[in-house]
Structure formats: C-alpha cells, structure tokens
Amino acid sequence: MTRIDRTFAALREKGKKAFVAYIMAGDPDRQTSMQIMRGLPRAGVDIIELGIPFTDPMADGPTIQLAGQRALEAGQTLNKTLEMVAEFRKDDNTTPVVLMGYYNPIYNHGVDRFLEDARAAGVDGLIVVDLPPEEDEELCIPAQKAGLNFIRLATPTTDDCRLPKVLQNTSGFVYYVSITGITGAAAARAEDVAPEVARIKSQTDIPVVVGFGIRTPDTAREIASVADGAVVGSAIVKQVEEGRSVEEILEFVRSLAEGAHRA
C-alpha cells in the first residue's frame, strides 16, 4: 500500500472524508512555501498536492497561473520542487504528497530520471493534467511500476464510453473536476456532483475526491458528504496572493479541513 492508500484506509476506519490541499511550490518564494507546506498536516490536511510551476498552465485559471508566475520569478524549478518534498520528509513520513502539473517539465527532466528522483524525494503520486490515457506508456505505466500512484482527472464531460478508459490505469484516487472550465471559475454544487461521483464509484473501488469550485468550509463539507473527499486549491493560493501571513493561511486551511471532516 502507498501512503495514499493507507491514508484513505485510516480515514474510512474513522468514518471521515479526506481533505486535500493544493499549494504552488515556490509561491511566493521557496521559504514561505516550505513553511506553508510543513504546516498543512497540523492544519488538518490529509493529502498535499504540490503544484509544479509551468509557463503555460492551460487548465488553470488566473489565480493558479499567477502563482506559477510568482514561483518561476522567484527561481522555482522542478528540481527545487523535489528538494522541497525531500525536506518535508525529514519531519513527516506519513502525509502523502502528490505532484500536480504538466508533462513538459517532466519530459525535459527525463521520465526515468524524474521517477527515480521523485521516488527518492518521497513523492507518492502524480497528477499530470495534459497526458490522456492514450499516452499511458509515456508516464502513467512507468510511474506505477516505480511505486507512484497515477491519479487521473474525470470531468462532467467524461461520458460512460470514456470513463472506463480514464479509470483503467488510475490508482490512489480519482480526481473529479466538479465544473467545466478552468480552476477557480465557478462554485461547486453538491447536487450536481453527487450523481457523477456515484456514476464513477459504480465502475471503480478507488476513492473519488472532488475539486474545483470549493472555497468555503460549508462547501467543503457539502462536497465531501457526497464523495470520499474534497480538494481546495485556488482559494488557498488566493490567500498567498493577498499577502496573508503563514499563520493566517494555515488558519484558513484549518477551517476548510474542519468543514470536510464534518461531512
């Protein structure tokens, strides 16, 4: 079992849902980003998604795009992102860390070298938004062989014909995108999400967590109540953009985690 598998198993035993938090590595700078990352588990985060900054983030809205730009301008790289995970692991060998981003930086790093480096750093899973199932031989299957979960996105436009293809090599959890469009674009609604989560769960035993459009503790609770967990990204990153202190950001994260855990 991976750290991700163990986390969901432990939450199931407690009758709790997962809270997953996304931050951009190196935003607004490496030191602050590291402080936030270290504080996330204490704030109630079950799984950390760590964004890899990239110059052309096609699926991301303005908030995440600007975060990536800030990180790149501060000198963040893929290597430095892996170094952050390794540093985090010195104090925390339990909380799963998932790298989320695009294939280009990984391809430039070299797939075999990247997987070796990611594994050594303590990465548990990957979400690579621009690699469809038809490209599984590129990264998904090698990642699974290296012991990393490969987490796939399902969306409102993933119909019954497409869904089995999306699920076939997915592990760790399925990330259901609650809305069509880019990150931070609209609010998630539990009544819309519930039937889609049920449809996915009818075809897989893998946990289904829901992200996009979750900005408040109440929404986190409502969404987690119809899924196996909730993901918040843009709302947390917005706190960084607004210049909030690390303590203020972690207090906001704590409120979201408490919402999801009440589901």
The catalytic residue among 27, 46, 60, 222 is 60
Nearest to 155 by CA among 192, 207, 204, 103: 192
Q: Which helix (H) or strand (E) holds 250?
A: helix 246-261
Interacting residues of 108 by C-beta distance below 8 A, sequence separation 6+: 78
- Clarify whether 49 is annotated catalytic: yes
Angle between helices 246-261 and 234-241 (to 10 degrees): 160
Which of 24, 18, 92, 118 has the alpha carbon at shortest distance from 64? 24
Q: How far lies 5's CA from each of 21, 185, 256, in Å? A: 17, 30, 22
Strands annotated E in 155-220: 174-177, 208-211
Q: Catalytic: 160?
A: no
Q: Which of 27, 46, 49, 222 is catalytic?
A: 49
Residue 102, φ and ψ in degrees, nearest 5: -125, 160
Close Cβ partners of 42 (under 8 Å, ≥ 6 residues apart):
250
HSE-CB at 79 with a 13 A cutoff on CA atoms is: 5
Q: Which residues carry out catalysis?
A: 49, 60
